[in-house]
Structure 1
Amino acid sequence: MTIEKLRTGFSLNFGVADITLLFEGEQDHLVPCCSQTLLDSDLFVVAGRMIGHSFLHGGPLLPGISPAIIHVLVGGAIETAEIHLKDCPDLDQRHTIQLLEGNRPISEEEREEITRLSVMWDLPGFSEDHRKWLFNRMLQHAVSVLYRTKCQVKQLRCGIKETKIWPFITEREDAVKVLFPRASDAEYGPEVILQHIVWPVAESDDDDDDDRLRPEVVTRQIQFLREYIQKATTDQLQKLLTFWTGWEVPSKSLQVKIWRGRFFKASTCSRTLMLPADILTMGDFTSTLHACANTASTGFGLV
């Protein structure tokens, strides 16, 4: 839940919006927000503690941080950071700068758009003679977020250091990629989820215990879940995992149990999904699981 808050924002209203983001931009190019209020509140120190403690306890990690921010965070110089246009969180500025990229003809309307931005940044207007130079200068200006977020990065580093994992990060270069994975590397499919599931065993009952489910019931529900996972979309798999474990990334061990009932239940602490034995068709199984999984964000994975 703590890492989810870092990704989607906190329910804090500083007079601008109901949700306050600590990181903004697009995946794999997220940068710290430049809000002075967040900085004065030491929220980036808190974010560093959250990241460090989640790592120590085998929890989910924070994906998608810009490589340039990570480079500066672990001690690299701002001047040597590899900057990408996607590191600019302002989509309007990014669109204007992209107009200069390449050699395609620039329309009169685009020329005026470029000139407005360049004048605002005390740069000369557009000219084909210095098009490439202007593109590089505007790119540097747009991603000056590295300079504007130095204090945020410093607070983030302090929070991580408080969790005592900083020596591990600085002594092992590969640890940085583990602590700050790329969102694109965290993608997974049905096969990955199925490999992590610990399936229940259908046992025969010679004593006719009324509380024991018949083997054919256990086998049927297992087959329903396997078929659902194999056919589900990425969004559906993420919702299922969030309902199942509280997080959308597969855990090392995903437990499955079956109970006498009509709805799905989940214990996120033990990573256990309870399948209802009373569902008899794949259609009912799918529709009921969709309804239950969609409550994950409001019901903490419990129905």
Structure 2
Amino acid sequence: MQLFLKEVRHGGVNQPPLLLSLNASVDDEERDITLISFYKNDRAKSQWAAPFNCRIIGNAAVTTLFEGQTDHLVPVLSTSLLDSDLIMMAGRMIGHSVIHGGPTLSGLSPAVVDALMYSRTEMAASKLCLEDCSDVEHRETIRLVSEEKELESSQISELCLNWYCPVPTKETNRLLLFQQLLSHAVLGRSHAQIKQLRKGLKDTGVWPLLATRPDVAPLFFPREAEVQLTPQAILQSIKWPQSQEAYNSDDSDDDIQTGTISAITVFFRTFVENASPEILAKLVKFWTGWEVPPDKLNMEIVKSRGRNHLPTASTCYERLRIPDHYSTYSSLKSDLMVCVESVDSGFGLI
């Protein structure tokens, strides 16, 4: 995969650099329009491999294009997203990011990945499970089919009629009906979205690798459950702060004492070394916005604005900022736990 992507990037060496600038000082609509127009613009495959410069002032907004549980994400079923080619835009974003060594899309349903790769619903359906159905109401109705209850219930009959399936009777094969309903709920209804996502990937030039080497699919679409985060892996990725280092940040200050930087660095290292895999995953998501860690994690010690100044993260820059007022390990640990627990309700920011 590395050799293939290196060859793809080589084809874009002579192309003019691609420039993207997002400004947080404008309203959400204007910022979204800038991002969308960049990825909806038709380009030759070699242009996606051109040198890429991205300037983000503040934190860019994110449009939800996938929904559901972790490792069971499916495309959002929205006609407006399809008509606007936003799912195709997502495919371009994934391919563009992979080409330049950026984050991939983690947590996608294995059945959706198979449907994306092979264009065969029958093969993908074998990997389906109830958790892949993001609509909780439909999921519970489909669950009734697998249970020892009357198939003639109004919920099941209404769903079958809506999806053009035969209304069940006592003689109906429960397993077959269950598979039909689940397959339609996840793959049948999202067929157009998956097709558009595939088109976006093809536009960036990464599809020949996926088409000929399906074994690389887990690198493009990793499962979060299979990403074993260890303290050693995170510690090795951290770019540690240095004494008297200029950070080019409004929050940083060059006069932080060397002893303070060393002490907080030791406190943070201790936190990582003793954290559970679940906490480590939340820390990485707070830090970068993704559950899969990048090759480099930036850490800074910044001048404190007071005791209530908590650690913050600039996810777009994969940068964690820790105020310099921490004098004990327990105080830093307490505030870090507040931060990492925020990822369940926000975008990894506090």
**Common topology (TM > 0.5):** yes
Q: Which AA in structure 1 matches 2:129? A: L
Match for residue 89 of structure 1 among 110, 121, 134: 134
Alignment match, 1:282: 329
Match for residue 57 of structure 1 among 75, 84, 100: 100
Match for residue 264 of structure 2 among 208, 211, 221: 221
Deviation, structure 1 residue 46: 0.6
Alignment match, 1:142: 182
CA distance, structure 1, for counterparts of residue 114 and residue 347 of structure 2:
38
Deviations 1:161-214 (A, max 9, x none): 1211111222222221211112322352444322323445789xxxxxx95734
SS at match of 2:201: helix
**Residues 177/247 of structure 1: CA separation in 2 closer, same or farther (3 Å cut):** closer
CA distance, structure 2, for counterparts of residue 177 and residue 138 of structure 1:
28
Deviation, structure 1 residue 153: 1.9
SS at match of 1:93: helix
Match for residue 181 of structure 1 among 202, 208, 222: 222
**Residues 151/190 of structure 1: CA separation in 2 closer, same or farther (3 Å cut):** same
Deviation, structure 1 residue 44: 1.1
Alignment match, 2:73: 30
CA distance, structure 2, for counterparts of residue 265 and residue 33 of structure 1:
30
156-165 or 217-226, which moves further after superposition? 217-226
SS at match of 1:168: helix
**Residues 24/110 of structure 1: CA separation in 2 closer, same or farther (3 Å cut):** farther
Q: Over aligned residue pairs, what C-alpha RMSD do you find?
A: 3.9
Deviation, structure 1 residue 290: 5.1
Native 8 Å contact 2:300 2:321 kept in 1? yes
Alignment match, 1:195: 236
CA distance, structure 1, for counterparts of residue 78 and residue 269 of structure 2:
46
Deviation, structure 1 residue 276: 3.7
Q: Does 1:167 align with 2:208?
A: yes
SS at match of 1:99: helix
Q: Does 1:151 align with 2:192?
A: yes
Alignment match, 1:77: 120
Deviations 1:136-167 (A, max 9, x none): 12431332242333322222112111211111
Deviations 1:97-138 (A, max 9, x none): 333436xx43x69956545545655534442x54xx133124
Total equivalences in the alignment = 274
Alignment match, 1:15: none
Deviation, structure 1 residue 67: 2.4
Native 8 Å contact 2:286 2:340 kept in 1? yes
Native 8 Å contact 1:266 1:274 kept in 2? yes
Deviation, structure 1 residue 236: 5.1
CA distance, structure 1, for counterparts of residue 80 and residue 202 of structure 2:
23
Indicate the structure (1 or 2) with the bigger Cα radius of gyration.
1
**Residues 29/201 of structure 1: CA separation in 2 closer, same or farther (3 Å cut):** closer
Deviation, structure 1 residue 266: 5.3
Give TM-score, length-normalised by structure 1: 0.71
Native 8 Å contact 2:287 2:314 kept in 1? yes
Native 8 Å contact 1:254 1:271 kept in 2? yes
Unaligned ranges ≥5, structure 1: 1-9, 13-18, 204-209
Native 8 Å contact 2:152 2:168 kept in 1? no
CA distance, structure 2, for counterparts of residue 243 and residue 25 of structure 1:
20
SS at match of 1:188: coil
**Residues 260/100 of structure 1: CA separation in 2 closer, same or farther (3 Å cut):** closer
**Residues 197/153 of structure 1: CA separation in 2 closer, same or farther (3 Å cut):** same
CA distance, structure 2, for counterparts of residue 240 and residue 224 of structure 1:
15
Q: Which AA in structure 2 matches 1:85? A: C
